[in-house]
């Protein structure tokens, strides 16, 4: 496990993960629009006529669009004089700047922090590309309880990457200790695996 983690710790690996996340998000959205969109509305966008069940009503695919943030949150209403796309572009680049600083200041063995940054940035770019191209974000994953009127806000792969990335950032210290620390067989003293592997 530690060897696998170390193989994902190089800058090249992070670039590959970043590109892979963006590609997975954009391809999944393209597939959703062409595979689920069967109803052309007056705004010129395709929507789903009915949800496609994956695991009963627990997990469904239902094409929708979101002009707000992740999970349909609408923080752009705080600055209504800004165009939503401009608002989210500014917010996204500010977040990228802060994450870039965090990435540089947390070198190995802070693997979880860096992985969290990569996932958040990958998801952020994926949704930002939608805003630049469509003025809204493509969502298509719907989860909820059967026969319940309320469902979790529809989301996409980029939203998932952001949430998982935030989870890595929040739990980074504990995760890195479990991944990179072992105990010296002689005295039971914690030893940094990244150091011993040098």
Q: Which residues are catalytically annotated? A: 139, 159
Among 120, 97, 98, 117, residue whose Cα is nearest residue 107: 117
Task: Give the strand pairing for 59-66 and 137-143.
Answer: antiparallel
Q: For residues 5 and 111, what is the distance between their CA atoms, to the nearest angstrom?
A: 8
Q: Which DSSP helix (H) or strand (E) runs through 186?
A: none
CA distances from residue 198 to 77, 109, 118, 124, 194 in whole angstroms, order as listed: 51, 12, 25, 35, 7
């Amino acid at each position: 496990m530690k060897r696998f983690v170390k193989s994902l710790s190089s800058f090249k690996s992070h670039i590959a993960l970043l590109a892979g996340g963006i590609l997975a998000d954009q391809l999944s959205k393209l597939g959703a629009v062409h595979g689920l969109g069967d109803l052309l509305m007056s705004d010129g966008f395709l929507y789903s006529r009915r949800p496609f069940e994956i695991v009963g009503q627990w997990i469904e695919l239902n094409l929708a669009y979101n002009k707000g943030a992740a999970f349909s949150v609408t923080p752009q209403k705080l600055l209504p004089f800004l165009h939503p796309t401009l608002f989210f572009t500014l917010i996204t680049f500010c977040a990228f700047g802060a994450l870039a600083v965090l990435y540089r200041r947390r070198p190995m063995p802070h693997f979880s922090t860096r992985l969290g940054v990569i996932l958040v940035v990958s998801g952020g770019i994926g949704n930002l590309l939608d805003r630049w191209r469509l003025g809204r974000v493509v969502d298509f994953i719907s989860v909820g309880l059967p026969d319940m009127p309320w469902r979790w806000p529809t989301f996409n792969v980029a939203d998932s990457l952001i949430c998982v990335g935030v989870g890595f950032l929040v739990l980074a210290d504990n995760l890195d200790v479990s991944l990179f620390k072992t105990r010296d067989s002689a005295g039971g003293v914690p030893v940094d695996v990244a150091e011993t592997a040098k």
